[in-house]
């Protein structure tokens, strides 16, 4: 009987020290995960707490009184939150997809040896990371492009790729064997076909990373709405929630000295806005997590 046929049924026995070490590692990871998740749980619980219990007892995992008042204010029939959700969602999805493609095209071009002026272009993009033209030229350019009081005001100003993300893509493409490009050219493939049929699938890990960066940036962006949007129909979610929060703060200041007047849900509203704004990003991450791996190029070229 061979040794190979006998080994599958044999279990590796660990010493007492190894078992203790494994237990300690799992315990540390569990405690660290617990420390990370508890703040999120606290935010969710406080969002369902009444303003009176928060005022008396502070933030607590076991509130004295539960309330849905904060969510009622957010999702009233006359509320603009669903509309802002839709506008922000459209801007995030469209802007992330287009910005990722533009970033990939720029990164692939600067990593391509056949690009004669790739070093000069890289220096040009690097300068934009260090120096800025200022707010006034940016505003004038957005107005000239027609990005004012419309959905494009939330998309186009942030559509031009981030140089940092572009350099990430460029460095990743440089790590792919150049023989892939050369062999594809021998077979008669053009640059566009090589970029999007060969290099694009291999760049999914870095593209998933920059797509997450762009998605977070679009989702949390309120500056474009502040500067370029006056029509409430095109308010981003962050801008609208900031406006509602300001109104609640002003209202709470007015009724602070009044009697027999219910205080507006100031603190619970803050937590509720955190819940509805962080939810989509947290849901997005698991779908991109599978691409956060390395070694996809290993074996692509035979030695």
- Is 0.85 surpassed by the pTM of this model? no
Distance between CA atoms of residues 44 and 264, nearest Å: 18
CA distances, 163 to each of 28, 110, 129, 210, 212 (Å): 38, 12, 7, 11, 15
Q: What pLDDT digit, counting tens, does each position of 40-69 carry?
A: 888 888 888 887 888 777 788 888 888 888
What structural domains and CATH numbers belong to the chain?
12-72 (no CATH), 73-289 (1.10.3720.10)
> What's the DSSP call for residue 199?
I
What phi-psi label fits residue 295: left (phi over 0), alpha (psi between -120 and 50 degrees) or beta?
A: left
Q: What pLDDT digit, counting tens, does each position of 72-118 carry?
A: 877 877 778 888 888 999 999 999 999 999 999 888 888 887 778 88
Backbone angles phi, psi at 128, to 5 degrees: -65, -20
Q: What pLDDT digit, counting tens, does each position of 240-277 carry?
A: 888 877 777 776 666 555 544 556 667 788 888 888 88
């Amino acid at each position: 009987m061979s040794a190979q046929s006998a080994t599958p049924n044999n279990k590796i026995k660990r010493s007492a020290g190894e078992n203790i070490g494994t237990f300690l590692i799992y315990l540390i990871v569990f405690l660290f995960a617990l420390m990370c998740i508890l703040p999120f749980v606290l935010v969710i619980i406080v969002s369902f707490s009444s303003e009176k219990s928060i005022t008396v007892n502070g933030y607590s995992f076991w509130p004295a009184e539960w309330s849905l008042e904060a969510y009622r204010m957010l999702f009233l029939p006359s509320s603009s939150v669903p509309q802002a959700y839709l506008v922000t969602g459209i801007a995030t999805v469209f802007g992330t997809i287009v910005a990722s493609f533009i970033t990939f095209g720029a990164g692939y071009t600067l990593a391509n040896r056949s690009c004669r002026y790739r070093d000069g272009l890289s220096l040009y993009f690097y300068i934009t990371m260090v120096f800025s033209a200022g707010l006034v030229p940016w505003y004038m350019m957005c107005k000239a492009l027609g990005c004012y009081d419309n959905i494009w005001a939330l998309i186009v100003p942030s559509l031009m790729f981030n140089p940092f993300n572009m350099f990430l893509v460029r460095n990743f493409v440089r790590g792919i064997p150049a023989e892939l490009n050369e062999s594809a050219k021998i077979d008669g493939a053009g640059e566009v076909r090589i970029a999007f049929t060969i290099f694009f699938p291999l760049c999914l890990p870095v593209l998933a990373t920059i797509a997450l960066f762009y998605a977070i940036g679009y989702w949390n962006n309120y500056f474009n709405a502040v500067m370029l949007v006056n029509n409430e129909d095109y308010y981003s979610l962050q801008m609208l929630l900031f406006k509602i929060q300001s109104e609640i703060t002003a209202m709470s200041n007015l009724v602070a000295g009044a009697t027999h007047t219910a205080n507006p849900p100031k603190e619970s509203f803050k937590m509720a806005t955190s819940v509805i704004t962080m939810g989509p990003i947290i849901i997005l991450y698991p779908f991109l997590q599978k691409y956060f791996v390395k070694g996809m190029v290993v074996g692509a070229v035979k030695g």
